[in-house]
Structure 1
């Protein structure tokens, strides 16, 4: 999944990494962080990190690599743990 932090504005740091879903599917976990859905109440964000409250955009990777909310891939970090799987998926 691709995470783009929206705490500082419409475009923020972005990373592609592995997520785990709760049994209900309403909570996401990644690298020790817990994310809950905003249920349509966020501005250009669909999840928030429960500890800090930071809003973010989380979505699946796209084959055209336009992974950011507003397109583009510049500055998107790819976690080493998923790098090979990510490139297989988008090619």
Structure 2
């Protein structure tokens, strides 16, 4: 299955919510994403400020490819997403374009 580093923001609490940068796996059709033991189904354009929902809970999310400039959220919230440890180096070098990634102080630093 295809994998990609993506920006994942919960929209269940409103227009902004906790966000992460992590590696998702795509289903064969691409309509379902898998991340951290959860399955996310595409809303196929039917969501309001969200584009996926958690299959088990129904919670809604904005999931998209991360941007080089780091402005990943749907709205300019200036919040910093948590970057998963397993994608830290690749995120900062391949996506953000840094020669070397910043030093991690702990897993939740971004």
TM-score tier, shorter chain, comes to over 0.9
Q: 1:47-66 residue pairs with structure 2 within 5 A?
A: 47-66=52-71
TM-score, structure 1 as length reference = 0.95
8 Å contact from structure 1 (residues 34, 51) kept in 2: yes
1:90 aligns with 2:96: yes
How far apart are the structure 2 equivalents of 1:79 and 1:37?
23
| CA displacement at 1:40 relative to structure 2 | 1.0
Shift of 1:71: 3.0
Paired residues of 1:65 and 1:73 also in contact (CA < 8 A): no
Q: Is the 8 A contact 2:16 2:77 kept in 1?
A: no
1:35, 1:59 → 2: CA distance?
Answer: 12
1:24 aligns with 2:33: no
Q: Answer yes or no: is the 8 Å Cα contact 1:34–1:49 preserved in 2.
A: yes
Q: Which runs of 5+ in 1 are unaligned?
A: none
List per-residue Cα deviations over 1:7-62 (Å, max 9, x = no partner): 00000000000000011111100111000000111110000000110000000010
Q: Point out where structure 2 has 5 or more consecutive residues left out of the alignment.
A: 1-5, 98-110
Whether 2:39 is the aligned partner of 1:39: answer no
Q: Which gives a bigger RCO, structure 1 or 2 (Cα 8 Å, sep 6+)? A: 1
Q: Cα RMSD (Å) of the superposition?
A: 1.0
